[in-house]
């Protein structure tokens, strides 16, 4: 009788302190979800494959001693901006847990490296800047706006609640817009239908919606913010400042789950755009 292979959580690792933070999150989440854990290092070519593999194996052994979880290791050639999401797709990874250092130089005006890596991925990313603050995910912030793609946030909330049972906060803008109203109606009906506890929180409207979402997340000591990348990131939108980037590199270092719009979920109906 064949045994079904366990899915894995992929952790890109570059031997920096922040990638070690990603490993810590990966250990914690893989234990909770009952998945494998894979450390991935991307190299320009395979000249250093054996050396890097040896370093990763040593790290995996140390992780087992410390956390009682031994990650698998993988070294692959390519460009970081394209290789990670391709490998995650090929592995059928359930999640990619990745560190971010924030945009530098011209990346502030174009696209940060992290956003380039995540754009178009069919596997969600869990972006971190610091170690976990709890052993579980207790409080999750879900900003709700006018876009139809919000529905994938709900499907992931439903998934997470099967393991963590967190308190969900739907954070809505302080504006009157029929699209937001319809999206909130669909979201509340979905959560109630799945017996998921949630609280609806109104932004005060004194600052930008993104800034107020982040401030509220800090106020309640949230463990996670779930956001959706916009489908098309144009040069003009980048110059005006990507709100997604503000979430990802938030100054309070709250982890952020980053999703990409999926065509198949639009068939669910309910959200407007």
The yes-or-no verdict on residue 263 having pLDDT over 50 is no
Give the phi and the psi of residue 266 in degrees, each rounded to 5: -65, -20
Helix (H, G, I), strand (E, B) or coil at 128: strand
The yes-or-no verdict on residue 162 having pLDDT over 50 is yes
- The rounded distance, in Å, linking the Cα atoms of 129 and 17 is 10
CB atoms inside a 10 Å sphere around CB 53: 14
Residue 155 in contact with residue 182, Cβ under 8 Å? Answer: no
The Cα-based distances of 207 to 78, 173, 199, 223 in angstroms read 41, 10, 21, 22
104's CB contacts (< 8 A; 6+ apart) are none
* 125-128 vs 256-259, strand pairing mode: antiparallel
Residue carrying structure tokens 């913010």? 225
Q: Record the pTM.
A: 0.87
The yes-or-no verdict on residue 108 having pLDDT over 50 is no
User: In this predicted structure, what is the pLDDT of residue 174?
Assistant: 87
């Amino acid at each position: 009788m064949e045994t079904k292979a366990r899915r894995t959580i992929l952790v890109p690792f570059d031997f920096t302190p922040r990638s070690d933070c990603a490993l810590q999150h990966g250990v914690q989440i893989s234990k909770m979800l009952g998945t494998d854990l894979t450390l991935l290092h991307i190299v320009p070519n395979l000249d250093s494959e054996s050396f890097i593999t040896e370093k990763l194996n040593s790290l995996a052994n140390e992780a087992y001693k410390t956390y009682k979880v031994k990650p698998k290791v993988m070294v692959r050639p390519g460009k970081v901006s394209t290789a990670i999401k391709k490998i995650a797709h090929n592995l059928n990874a359930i999640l990619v847990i990745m560190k971010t250092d924030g945009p530098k130089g011209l990346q502030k005006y174009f696209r940060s490296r992290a956003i380039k890596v995540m754009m178009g991925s069919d596997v969600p990313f869990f972006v971190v800047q610091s170690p976990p603050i709890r052993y579980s995910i207790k409080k999750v912030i879900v900003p709700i706006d006018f876009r139809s793609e919000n529905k994938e946030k709900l499907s992931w909330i439903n998934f997470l609640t099967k393991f963590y049972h967190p308190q969900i906060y739907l954070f809505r803008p302080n504006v009157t817009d029929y699209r937001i109203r319809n999206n909130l109606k669909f979201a509340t009906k979905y959560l109630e239908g799945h017996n998921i506890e949630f609280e609806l929180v109104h932004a005060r409207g004194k600052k930008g919606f993104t800034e107020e979402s982040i401030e509220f997340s800090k106020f309640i000591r949230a463990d996670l913010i779930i956001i959706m990348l916009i489908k098309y990131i144009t040069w003009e939108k980048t110059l005006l400042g990507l709100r997604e980037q503000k979430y990802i590199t938030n100054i309070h270092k709250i982890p952020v789950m980053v999703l990409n719009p999926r065509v198949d979920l639009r068939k669910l109906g309910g959200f407007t755009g």
